[in-house]
Amino acid sequence: MKILITGGAGFIGNAIINELSKDKCNEIVVLDALTEQIHGKKPEESYLYKGIADKCHFIRGDIRDYQLVEQVVKDCNYIIHLAAETGTGQSMYQINQYNEVNIMGTSNLFQAISATGMKLEKFILASSRSVYGEGKYECPVHKTVYPEARKVEDMKTGDFTMHCPICNERLQTAPTDEASKVIPNSLYAFTKYAQEKMVETMCKAMQIEYTIFRFQNVYGIGQSLKNPYTGILSIFSTLLLDNKKVNVFEDGAESRDFINVEDVASAVIKSLGEKETNGEIINLGSGVGTSVMEIAETLKLLYGSESEICITGDFRVGDIAHNIADTKKAEKLLGFRPTISLEDGLQQFTAWVKDQEPDNSGYEASLKEMELAGMYVRGGVIR
Q: How far apart are CA 294 and CA 309, in angstroms?
A: 11
User: Which DSSP letter does residue 14 get?
Assistant: H
Task: Classify 143 in phi/psi space as left (phi over 0), alpha (psi -120 to 50) or beta.
Answer: left
Please tell me which residue in 188, 219, 229, 363 is annotated as part of the active site: 188
Amino acid found at 215: F
188 catalytic? Reply is: yes
C-alpha dist (Å) from residue 234 to 51, 205, 227, 378 = 18, 41, 8, 21
CA–CA separation, 155 and 55 (whole Å): 47
Q: How far apart are CA 16 and CA 267, in angstroms?
A: 9
β-strand pairing of 280-284 with 255-256: unpaired
Return the SS3 of 284: strand
Give the span between the Cα atoms of 158 and 154, in whole angstroms: 7
Q: Which residues are catalytic?
A: 188
